[in-house]
Structure 1
Amino acid sequence: MSSPKSLSAGSPAQSPDRLEETDATHPTNTQIPYNEDDDVDSAIGDNDSIASSTASLTDSIYDYRSIHGRTFQSSKTTEYWGPNDDKQNNGLDISHHFITRIKGDRLFLAPIGDAPSKVLDVGTGTGIWAIDMADTYPSTEVIGTDISPIQPAWVPPNCAFHIDDAQLEWTFSAKTFDFVHIRALYGCIGDWTELYRQAYKVLVPGGWLEDFEMNIHLHSDLPEIRDDPDHVFKQWAKVFLEAMDRIGKTGRIAMGSNMRKHMEKAGFVDIVEKSFQVPCGAWSSDPRLKEVGLYNLVFLDESLEGFALFLLKQIMGWEYVEIQVLVAKMRSAIRDAKIRPYYLVTNVYARKPEESTD
């Protein structure tokens, strides 16, 4: 992102959980098939066509702060960088669809069995995963937690939502849940080992934890983009990682084997890690990945401004017009199907040992 404000100005605070960064080596697309001769449009859809593709709490919980018309949770206990308004929530629900498709039309990959008793969804967001889980397993009690009360009131009878901060001491009793699910908390957690330890504590012996996280660095295999240190994909990742470092969080959890390492430290065993290359745009020749790419593009297009506002304005000190220029450049790049943009996501699941006494 070319901006009049230096990306390295100032000295960013060191994250208390400074994770391994293994993004220096550019990946190569090995998972997303495409046809070289496909006549793809340079931009998949304009604003109208993309839009058409989307189809008892205390008063303090609803204390939102507004940044240029977008609302953000004004939490007393944690700093969350994403908006909680309808526009951003729409993007979250769209991402749920393509993430489920990536997983083979499954809500999870962990071998939790056919009849889990209790399931916890940490950082539930709009609650869409928890609701789908409750619908799929009607005899399972599903609880979703989040710092923002954006979940619907009408939910399956076996689904409930609690306002709770995952970075504080969890209030659930030990050995309560058969399965703990986490998704997309990148940039939100100060101590990932502690987060996984909390999950370990509330799981029954033999219970499973699963976490799905995104790498915020987009890629293209085209040499003119891959080898350009100033391309908007690299500039976007650089400034976001720095901003997250400054608030004591990290955007690097999906890089390398960071998730696996923290789960091992927390005591988990039988850890299974899988990375996926996710297309941005409908440029793949594979029908399923073409659909994934379209929904991913809609998710990003819907979410870019929301991603940028708090971190770049409040943390990095950018002017609003600078943010809009960056977002416009990023939006143009992700819509360009000819460069075949994609990024990496990592899914890790792990088991609490049967003999555990914690």
Structure 2
Amino acid sequence: MGHVLVIPYHGESKADQASDFGDEFSSSTVTGTDLSPIQPTWVPPNVKFEIDDAQLDWTWNENYFDFIHIRCLMGSIKDWPRLYNQAFCCTKPGGYIEHLDFDIQFTSDDGTVKEGDTMYDWSKIFIDAAEDITHQTFKIPRFSAQLIKEAGFVDVVEKKFKIPVGSWMADKKLKEIGRWNLLFLTTGLQGMQLWMLKHVLGVIEAKMRAALLDRANHGYYEATLVYGRKPG
């Protein structure tokens, strides 16, 4: 696949993503970037990591990467059009950009999670409060396809995936995903809101935890995958 750039969210799992990609595409050269030097030293020989801030001016050569992967940066980027424009500049003609992110607004298809319900209102308050504090959007999945087109990429495809909360879905795979997602949310709920939301959401944390565990709530949020090609 040639030269690949991986810009996922901050954390150790970033190294796993770049390493997994390098393992699967052994003929490629994979570069992962992060703000902090937390990556492991034991990685595939075709994978390397660099300390870099994707919001600064990119120092990569023009038309360099065959594939740029961006993941889970909602609330982390001040100027998304600028990021996509820089990615376009550094992508080879015929190369691709791919962006996967999450819209963390809980909802449902059957009316069990709607405006006025704890799960819906909690996530709306979370998003609004986070944006007020950081001045950076947490709603990028709703705009990424259009912004990637405006940057110059063509053949842009947008795919949305439901991430259920709990095991209420009939599909076995989604049921398993829902179980793990419920565990993730219930164990991480306090940590998610501790810093920026303790004065806003602290009083309804118990209600939110109960709503997550209520099997009558058929809630989910969406993961949005967008990819497009640079003309050439």
The TM-score, its normalising length taken from structure 1, stands at 0.60
- Which protein has the bigger strand share? 2
Give distance in 2, aligned partners of 1:200 and 1:117: 16
User: What secondary structure is seen at the aligned counterpart in 1 of 2:96?
Assistant: strand
Q: Does 1:187 align with 2:75?
A: yes
Give distance in 1, aligned partners of 2:155 and 2:168: 36
Aligned counterpart, 2:178: 293
Taking a change above 3 Å as real, the CA distance of residues 149 and 296 of structure 1, as seen in their structure-2 partners, is: farther
Cα deviation per residue 1:230-281 (whole Å; 9 max; x = unaligned)?
52422332242232243220011112xx111111121111100111122111
Aligned alpha-carbon RMSD (Å): 2.0
Aligned counterpart, 1:233: 120
Aligned counterpart, 1:81: none
2:41 to 146, 153, 157: 153
The TM-score, its normalising length taken from structure 2, stands at 0.89
Taking a change above 3 Å as real, the CA distance of residues 283 and 223 of structure 1, as seen in their structure-2 partners, is: closer
Cα deviation per residue 1:202-230 (whole Å; 9 max; x = unaligned)?
1111110000111111123454642x525
Aligned counterpart, 2:197: 312
User: What secondary structure is seen at the aligned counterpart in 2 of 1:264?
Assistant: helix
Question: Is the radius of gyration larger for structure 1 or structure 2?
Answer: 1
How many residues align structurally?
229
Give distance in 1, aligned partners of 2:95 and 2:60: 15
Unpaired runs of 5+ residues, structure 1, are 1-115
User: What secondary structure is seen at the aligned counterpart in 2 of 1:339?
Assistant: coil
Taking a change above 3 Å as real, the CA distance of residues 136 and 223 of structure 1, as seen in their structure-2 partners, is: closer
Aligned counterpart, 1:220: 108
Q: Does 1:253 align with 2:140?
A: yes
Displacement of 1:304 after TM fit? 2.4
Aligned counterpart, 1:351: 229
Give distance in 2, aligned partners of 1:311 and 1:240: 11
1:136 to 24, 30, 34: 24
Cα deviation per residue 1:315-338 (whole Å; 9 max; x = unaligned)?
xxx28xx63x44433232222232
Identity, in percent, stands at 43
Q: Does 1:277 align with 2:155?
A: no
- Which protein has the bigger helix share? 2
Q: Does 1:208 align with 2:96?
A: yes
User: What secondary structure is seen at the aligned counterpart in 2 of 1:284?
Assistant: coil
Unpaired runs of 5+ residues, structure 2, are none
Greater RCO structure (CA 8 Å; 6+ sep): 1
> Which structure 1 residue ranges, 4+ long, deviate > 4 Å from structure 2?
none
